A and B are shown apart, each in its own frame.
Chain A
Amino acid sequence: MVTLSEAKHVDERAWVRAEKRQGGTKLSFGGDWVVPEASHLDVDLRQIDLGGARNVEMDGSKIDLIDSSGAWLLLRTRREIEAAGGKIAAFTMPPTFEPLFETLDRVHNAPPVVIHHHHSFRHFLERTGKGSVHFLNQSVEMMNYLGRVTIETGEAIIKPRGNLRVAALFHQIEETGITALPIVGLLAFLLGVVLAYQGADQLKRFGAEIFTVNLVGVAVLREIGGLITAIIVAGRSGSAFTAQIGTMNVNEEIDAMQTIGLNTVDVLVLPRILGLLITLPLLTFYADMMGLAGGGVMSYFSLGLTIPVYMRQLQSAVSLSTLMVGLIKAPVFAFVIGLVGCFEGLKVERNAASVGKLTTRSVVESIFLVIVFDAAFSILFSILGI
């Protein structure tokens, strides 16, 4: 590790000497008065006891090298002596260093800066208050935005105004749907495997291992398929929406759109939400199939169920309504993910940190809302007896 003194090639350590003289004190300075030496000079200078001397001579003629930190230390010493009622009888230094010293003396009269500690109790209270107000404002804003987007999405679906960005829509379908196929498929398949394995393990004890198929079928179709797809899409596409729109916001692209007269909801939000509304149900169906396939493979290996047996049992366990119960939730999840992703993106402030912060928040919020809605659906379905 190279120290600053080595890097800056400090030849001679800086020194301070004080001698008592008749009628006053003489302070002599010498060596390299540069940044690496500043910390010990600071201590040395603070330790000088002038003993209330009225007359102080400051002699810097032995200083070989000085930079602004060294100059500041000398200047500070002089100012402190003067402030304490002392008199500087003489102040000498090599002529080449005088301009720096004079410039500093002229331009710098401000007190030291104050570093605020952002983690004190007071700041904690302050942040809590700010956070609460922010949360309320955010909720109101979100409601406004929800209203606006719902109306515009509804209009776009019911009576297309011909201003739907078809190219953008297909781009979004590709981005959010087709490119998600490998990850959604793999995870759904693995969840099917896990369910079948755990189910078989437990149900074997009752000799009811055949019901593993029922477990896999119902769980995957009703819950797991839709949920895992929504969570992956929230992480993949919700975050992408926020980051894309947020970066556009940072670059003033959103402002540019508005001055050209483009409606940001039409151009940015609708293609994304409509794209998700189309792809998420399809992805969910695909995840359902992959989950069932995973269950089938595991049943074959752990229970020895052949594919025809598995299929027959599956047919008796689930019906079309089981599948539909899972699929009907997908558009709602899609709307939530798209809405949150775009909403947070439009709220990005014009700095780089904001994009990251809101992207994280967008993912957390959309996964949270997806699970809340899933729970709400469960309650609803149980009341309706589906």
Chain B
Amino acid sequence: MSAHKQPSDDDLIISLRGVTNAFGDNIIHDHVDLDVRRGEVMGIVGGSGAGKSVLLHTIIGLNKPVSGSIKVFGEEIAGLSGIELRAVDMRWGVLFQEGALFSSQSVAENIQVPMREYTKMSQELMNELASMKLSMVGLPEDAAPKFPSELSGGMKKRAGLARSLSLDPELLFLDEPTAGLDPISASQFDMLVRDLQKSLNLTVCMVTHDLDTLRATTDRIAVLVNKKIKVGTIETLRKDPDPWIQEYFNGPRGHAALS
């Protein structure tokens, strides 16, 4: 659906070329490349401090890389002016780690923030759509008037997801969507992401540590190791000789989750 009919000579939604990130002398990413295709779910994994979140922040324009090119929807993110970046903002949704809900507004108002900002919908329609988004992410209707401080961690993430889906984005970024959730909520969340991805034809880019989530939702995985990115499916990555990747996918937890 939101997969729109723009003449897409390339079906690459995200394309990173030679991106280098560094804090001072500490190089996080050393000339990395990454392609995300339309309609796929890409997982980003890596050890603590490997720069997963930094990579995500770089793609969505919150962090400026030292060098390299980042294209999202075929547009060079670093070269966009504020107004142009807003046009891109309308086409993606971002779920931050803790949901990042606006604490002074109820869940329903949070979901309506992007609608209010970018559309001329009537309040009635926005109320209907907010209710629909809540159903889509599996939140009960009585969650709508609640404030973020009254929600559990899992509910915050669902509400955050509902807000990121507010304008029906084509591309969804998820930062550790299942971290801190109990296994039942986490697997529900996995199914939810997969369902939404299918029915809304989303492209999803998610940072996660959760091997179960990786197996359940992702099509391909980008592993951040030694400041570089290795991309593959779970099957191909399990055969990769890199010791960290071996440990990750074939260690005890990897075995339990993937076998």
A positions within 8 Å CB-CB of B: 1-4, 6-9, 11, 32, 34-36, 38-39, 42-43, 64-72, 76, 97, 99-100, 103-104, 107-116, 349-353
**Given A2-B86, A8-B90, CB of A111 within 8 Å of CB of B131:** yes
Q: Are A353 and B103 in contact (CB under 8 A)?
A: yes
Q: Beyond the given A1-B83, A103-B136, A116-B145, could you list 19 further A-B residue pairs with CB under 8 A, ordered by the A residue number?
A: A2-B90, A65-B2, A67-B168, A68-B129, A68-B132, A68-B133, A68-B165, A69-B129, A69-B168, A70-B1, A99-B198, A100-B1, A108-B135, A110-B132, A112-B127, A112-B131, A113-B144, A115-B108, A349-B149
Q: Are A111 and B4 in contact (CB under 8 A)?
A: no
Number of B residues with CB within 8 Å of any CB on chain A = 51
Q: Are A39 and B120 in contact (CB under 8 A)?
A: yes
Which B residue's beta carbon lies closest to that of A10?
Answer: B4
Quick one: which of B199-258 are within 8 Å of A by CB? 199-200
| Of the residues B1, B108, B138, B195, contact of A67 by C-beta under 8 Å | B1
Interface centre among B103, B129, B140, by most chain A C-beta atoms within 10 angstroms, is B129
Distance (Å) between the CB of A118 and the closest chain B CB?
9
Interface centre among A39, A65, A69, by most chain B C-beta atoms within 10 angstroms, is A69
**Chain B contacts for A72, CB-based, 8 A:** 128-129, 132
Which A residue's beta carbon lies closest to that of B1?
Answer: A67
Which B residue's beta carbon lies closest to that of A42?
Answer: B125
| Of the residues A34, A39, A43, A97, contact of B168 by C-beta under 8 Å | A34
Q: Are B2 and A107 in contact (CB under 8 A)?
A: no
Identify 23 residue pairs between A and B in the complex whose beta-carbon atoms are under 8 Å apart, listed by A's number.
Answer: A3-B118, A7-B86, A7-B90, A8-B91, A9-B6, A11-B5, A34-B4, A39-B122, A64-B5, A67-B200, A68-B129, A68-B168, A70-B1, A100-B200, A107-B135, A108-B136, A109-B135, A110-B141, A113-B134, A115-B109, A115-B127, A116-B106, A351-B149
Q: Give the A-B contact count at a CB cut-off of 8 A.
A: 138
State A9–B168 Cα separation when bound (angstroms): 13
Q: Are A67 and B136 in contact (CB under 8 A)?
A: no
